[in-house]
Amino acid sequence: MEAVSACPSFSARDYKSDVKPVWCPGCGDYSVLSSITKAMAELSVPPENVALVSGIGCSSRIPAYTNVFGFHGVHGRALPIATGLKISRPELTVIASGGDGDGFSIGGNHFMHACRRNVDMTYIVMDNEVYGMTKGQASPTTAPDWEKSKLTPEGTGINPFRPLVIALASGANFIARSFSGDPNHSARMIAEAIRHPGFSFVQILSPCVTFRPEQRDWKAGIRQAPVDATTDAARAARRLMTDDGFNIGVLFRGDRKPFQPSMKARVESVRDLEKEFRI
Ligand code: SF4
Ligand code: MG
């Protein structure tokens, strides 16, 4: 279990800040914010023991709307910041969050290596298959035939990035999907992800009602994954390779040991190098 200090007396409201979100009315991210605070309340982790790190984009504003320690970072770099934080402060519950453009394009390399490294933290991606903040360009998860962006009037013509497959192949220890239209389910997935040791990845389908209004129809296609979780990576891979993107639930639970190097040993090693090279 990730570093969660039990304390029974918190409600979701205790994790919300007084900053009013500036998201468009109807944006799915409101609901994800609510799910994150509900998950925190379920785990009863004191707000001062949580750090929420984000990159850049509409959904990356989320740390400002919570009452936990937050870091609104650099585009695509939420994961390396969160990794460094967790390694130096293992007692904290560390969550990284952001969108599909931030996490899978500029942050794509960090995503793969965070899965591989398996540091004990949780990554929540609010996926709306578009760059919303910069007014509706195709993102890595956009379908090839989406023609509404001025930059890709004939569609992207390229296969979308498949984050859950990449996460599994790269070594993520927990993989789940949820839908912002079902905030209780999302809260449950987030809480389970935080409880599970190692790198946990939760994709939350979160409609951009402004640039992808057709995503309001996602609700009709959402279904519970046939079997809630498997610990068999080969079976999870078969399922994810044929997945249409609308199965929600825990799709993989691994048992890899989290990576938690000793900072003391590393600092001593750097000091030795400094002496050797007289830096
Ligand atoms: Fe949400 Fe899209 Fe508006 Fe951004 S542009 S706040 S993702 S609805
Ligand atoms: Mg997006």
State pLDDT tens for residues 91-122.
999 999 999 999 999 999 999 999 999 999 99
> 3-7, 78-82, 222-226: which has the minimum mean pLDDT?
3-7
Would you call 177 helix, strand, or coil by DSSP?
A: strand
Separation between Cα atoms, residue 243 and residue 240, nearest integer Å:
5
User: What is the per-residue pLDDT for 268?
Assistant: 87
Q: Is the predicted pLDDT of residue 43 greater than 70, yes or no? A: yes
The architecture that CATH gives domain 12-277 is: 3-Layer(aba) Sandwich (3.40)
pLDDT confidence band for 261 (50 / 70 / 90): confident
Which atom of ligand 1 is the closest one to the Cα of 209?
8
Separation between Cα atoms, residue 123 and residue 154, nearest integer Å:
33
Q: Burial, 245: exposed, middle or buried (Cβ in 10 Å; 0-12, 13-18, 19+)?
A: buried
Q: Please, are residues 89 and 49 in contact by the beta-carbon 8 Å criterion?
A: no
pLDDT confidence band for 246 (50 / 70 / 90): very high
User: What is the per-residue pLDDT for 226?
Assistant: 75
Indicate whether residue 179 lines ligand 1 (CB < 6 A).
no
Which of 97, 125, 209, 215 gets mutated to test ligand 1 (max ligand atoms within 8 A of its CB)?
209
Predicted structure pTM score: 0.94
Q: Which residue has the tokens 């639930």?
A: 249
Which of 135, 210, 212 gets mutated to test ligand 1 (max ligand atoms within 8 A of its CB)?
210
Indicate whether residue 131 lines ligand 1 (CB < 6 A).
no
pLDDT digits (tens, 9 = 90+) for 172-219: 999 999 999 999 999 999 999 999 999 999 999 999 999 999 999 999
CA atoms lying within 13 Å on the CB side of residue 53: 24
Torsion-angle region of residue 220: left (phi > 0), alpha (psi -120 to 50) or beta? alpha
Please give the distance, rounded to the nearest whole angstrom, from the Cα atom of residue 261 to the centre of ligand 2.
33
Please give the distance, rounded to the nearest whole angstrom, from the Cα atom of residue 134 to the centre of ligand 1.
10
User: What is the per-residue pLDDT for 103?
Assistant: 98
Indicate whether residue 171 lines ligand 1 (CB < 6 A).
no
User: What is the per-residue pLDDT for 63?
Assistant: 98
The chain-wide mean pLDDT, for the chain, equals 94
